[in-house]
Amino acid sequence: MKQQEFTEELAEFLGVVLGDGNIYHKDSCCQLRIVGNKIKDKEYFIQRILPLIEKLFEIKAKLREGKNNCIIAYVYNKSMIQKLENFGLQPGNKLKNQVRIPEWIFNERKYIIACVRGLIDTDGCVFKKYAGPGRPQIEFYSGIKSLQADFERAMRVVGVEGKWRKTKGRRADVFGIYKNSEVAKYKNIVGFHNNKHLKHFENERIVPRAVTTASAHE
């Protein structure tokens, strides 16, 4: 594999597939599927995912609606699936295979940042804990232990602090970025290509830290 084949856009796309996608390769059947919410993610699929697939692989993916308010981008193409395997993705069940972020992505910080963006754009959540203005919080969900370890490793390189915690009633654990300073750092360093996340930053404001009597006179 030649170094010039590696790009930030490819790293981001692999993050998308590791997040809410999957590849299948058995005999002559080769398929890529990426699943999202047909209401919240449709714009992201049309404006980001489909153009990425066409640019990276010169293939036009198709889009269809599925059950339970889902939208699916899919491609049947053996050559594309083989390329994705060569770039480090594993076909089949991601949990069973304990998939990982491909090691080449850790060779450069810009690739790590792009891959993290793809992961959180698809399998992440941005929300405001309380109604009204304020700094949103960011969460990433995964039930795959190997991917959890790689994601934590990636975030250390990015320089954004967070922590994993267990959740009741969910098979996935949550990596939470809750501190105002760390959320701001994530937005500035990594950012989003999924506008549904950016919308949570509308009308945000920073609540200043309380000034003590001592510091006020310094």
* Residue in this structure with the two tokens 């250390």, named with its chain if needed: 156
CB within 8 Å of 59: residues ≥ 6 apart: 53, 75, 77, 80
Q: Per-residue pLDDT tens for 166-213? A: 877 777 899 999 999 999 999 999 999 999 999 988 867 655 444 333
CB 124 within 8 A of CB 139: yes
pTM of the model: 0.88
Model pLDDT for residues 55-95, shown as the tens digit of each residue: 999 999 999 998 888 999 999 999 999 999 999 999 999 99
pLDDT digits (tens, 9 = 90+) for 129-172: 776 667 899 999 999 999 999 999 999 999 999 999 987 777 78
**Helix 78-86 and helix 50-57: axis angle, to 10°?**
90
The residues pairing with 163 across neighbouring beta strands, listed in sequence order, are: 176
87-121 pLDDT per residue, tens: 999 999 999 999 999 999 999 999 999 999 999 99
Element (H, E) at 130: none
Q: Give CATH superfamily name and number for 3-201.
A: Homing endonucleases (3.10.28.10)
